[in-house]
Amino acid sequence: MQNSKELSTWLDDLKLEHPLVIAGPCSAETEEQVLKIAHELKDSDVSYFRAGIWKPRTRPGNFEGVGALGLKWLQKVKAETGLKTATEVANRAHVELALEHDIDLLWIGARSTVSPFIVQEIADALEGTDKIVLIKNPVNPDLALWLGAVERLSSANIKNLGVIHRGFSTYEKSKYRNNPEWQLAIELQTRFPDLPLINDPSHITGRRDMVFDVCQTALDLNFDGLMIETHYDPDNAWSDAAQQITPKTLIQYTKDLKIRKESTTEADYTSELQNLRAQIDVADNQLLDTLGKRMKVAEAIGALKKEKNVAVLQSKRWNEILGKMVLEGEQHNLSEEFILKLFKAIHQESINHQKQILKS
């Protein structure tokens, strides 16, 4: 994979010829498991070997990690393979133990990012460190909260910062485990272009068969790297089995993923154009998702009208919607002609859905 843009200092210092790749199991399970996966990854594009040592679980009783013992396994990984090491920290004690065992990269998880108190505790424990510290987005889609965590760490004189986009929780059913909400990552990237942005397709998808496509979208949007959960026997992993891929699959992905090259003015133009087109693709998918939700509401209205024996077309309501949308469209620099065509098409599709309900 080829590097896609000028990176910040700590990524530049790595002198990589490809986007950063952080990979390894969701959880360190045994010393044998950790070392086997690391050795399978040592001659690949992977720069950091990740493994969860402490695992925050939604409900008690699930596997919560092997604890500090796993840090010794990560030390063996570095000694035997040369891979740098990474793990999640959630409090001061975790930080102190990770630093004691010379872990190279620490990340703050989504559940921790939501709490300014936890983030501040970690920032105080890491003050002045030269370790790389990455902050996952909070569970909820709150850009200010995400950036607030970055600011707390930056204020603690931690220079080597970055962020991880792992998607956001939602009550609505989705094909994703955590909705990517790409527009939030795009806005963060626009406002802070020098802040390294890593994508976590494993937690976004929750399914290994979707990991590649999310990786490609992230690289098309000019992300700086990927964090991918990797296990030699994913189906029998002790945590998040469904979203982990094998080292062999990961290595193939790094060969198949398409990365924009930069060398000439024409290449720069192509790179920027592809990035903007990727943003269009994200917006289009959001439009389709929104229209799908709208049609479900229309079907519910159709069912109610059938029950009450009410006509499908309600002209007064329709004219009110059109007038309102024309005014709203002006605020978004959209012409009246476009708004009328768009909402007439949407209205007709809604009527079709309601008619199907009435006929059923």
Q: Is residue 311 part of a domain?
A: yes
Ramachandran region of residue 21, left (φ > 0), alpha (ψ -120 to 50) or beta? Answer: beta
Q: How many domains does the chain have?
A: 2
Domain boundary among 201, 226, 259: 259
Q: How high is the pLDDT of residue 139?
A: 95
Give the structural domain span for 333: 274-359
- 159 and 307 co-located in one domain: no
Residues 28, 109: one domain?
A: yes
Helix (H) or strand (E) holding 346: helix 336-359
- Residue 219 domain-assigned? yes
Instruction: Give CA–CA dist 200/26, Å, rounded.
Output: 12
Domain boundary among 201, 233, 259: 259
Rounded Cα–Cα distance for residues 246 and 243 (Å): 10
Same domain, 278 and 254: no
- Which of 231, 259, 287 is where one domain is finished? 259
Q: What is the pTM of this model?
A: 0.77
The helix (run of H) or strand (run of E) holding residue 108 is: strand 105-108
Are both 242 and 312 inside the same structural domain? no
Digits of tens for pLDDT over the chain (360 positions)?
Answer: 534 444 467 888 888 888 999 999 999 999 999 999 999 999 999 999 999 999 877 777 778 889 999 999 999 999 999 999 999 999 999 999 999 999 999 999 999 999 999 999 999 999 999 999 999 999 999 999 999 999 999 999 998 999 999 999 987 778 899 999 998 999 998 888 889 999 999 999 999 999 999 999 999 898 999 999 999 999 999 999 999 999 999 999 999 998 755 445 676 777 788 888 888 888 888 888 889 898 898 889 888 888 888 877 778 888 888 888 889 888 988 888 888 888 888 888 888 888 888 887
Q: How many Å from the N-terminal Cα to the C-terminal Cα in the chain? A: 53
Q: Are residues 63 and 185 in the same domain?
A: yes
Q: What is the domain-level CATH number for residue 299? A: 1.20.59.10
Assess whether 192 and 284 both reside in one domain. no
Q: For residue 264, what pLDDT is reported? A: 52
By three-state DSSP, how is residue 131 classified? coil
pLDDT value of position 240: 94
In whole angstroms, give the CA distance from residue 228 to residue 37: 13
Find where tokens 């204020």 sit: 155
Q: Say yes or no: 291 and 234 in one domain.
A: no
Are both 24 and 48 inside the same structural domain? yes
Reference 118, options 98, 158, 89; nearest CA is: 89
Distance separating alpha carbons of residues 197 and 164, to the nearest angstrom: 6
Distances (CA, A) of 79 to 56, 75, 105, 231, 360: 28, 6, 16, 20, 68
Report yes or no on 123 lying in a domain. yes
Residues 312 and 225 occupy one common structural domain: no
Q: Is residue 4 domain-resident?
A: no
Predicted pLDDT at 5: 47
User: From CA 109, how far away is CA 89, in angstroms rounded?
Assistant: 7
Contact 157, 127 (CB under 8 A): yes
Distance CA 213, CA 216 (A): 5
Q: What percent of the chain has pLDDT over 70?
A: 95
Return all residues near 50 (Cβ < 8 A) that are at least 6 apart.
22, 23, 24, 25, 85, 86, 87, 105, 227, 229
Domain identity same for 208 and 143: yes
Shared-domain flag, residues 162 and 239: yes
